[in-house]
Amino acid sequence: MIKLTRLDGEAFILNADLIKYVEQRPDTFITLTSNDRIVVGETPDEVLQRTIDYQRNKRLVPEDCAS
């Protein structure tokens, strides 16, 4: 699970396993495996880093993986 922020400043927790892809246009849109979309205040790079950290915590991504 990763903590993100909606554009109105409201924080929420997202199951990162449900992320299909992330795009910037200019806001950051996250498309989930259900094809639902969420707009967040974080940059795509921040979402990526939080997702990598989440996967590392699950021990699915080795510690030495380039960030």
Domain for residue 20, yes or no?
yes
In a domain, 46, yes or no: yes
- Please tell me the predicted confidence (pLDDT) of residue 57: 85
**45 within some domain:** yes
Token pair recorded at residue 27:
């806001």
> What radius of gyration, in Å, describes the C-alpha atoms of the chain?
12
Of residues 66 and 19, more confidently modeled: 19
Q: Which domain holds residue 13?
A: 2-57
pLDDT of residue 61: 60
The dihedral sign for the CA sequence 52, 54, 5, 18: positive
Q: Is the pLDDT of residue 35 over 70?
A: yes
**Residue 64 within any structural domain of the chain:** no
Residue 2 is given by DSSP the state E
- Determine the Cα–Cα distance for residues 48 and 16; give it in Å rounded to an integer: 10
Asked, for residue 48, whether it belongs to a domain, the answer is yes
Q: CB of 24 within 8 A of CB of 40?
A: no
| Domains: count for the chain | 1
β pairing state of 37-40 and 28-32: antiparallel
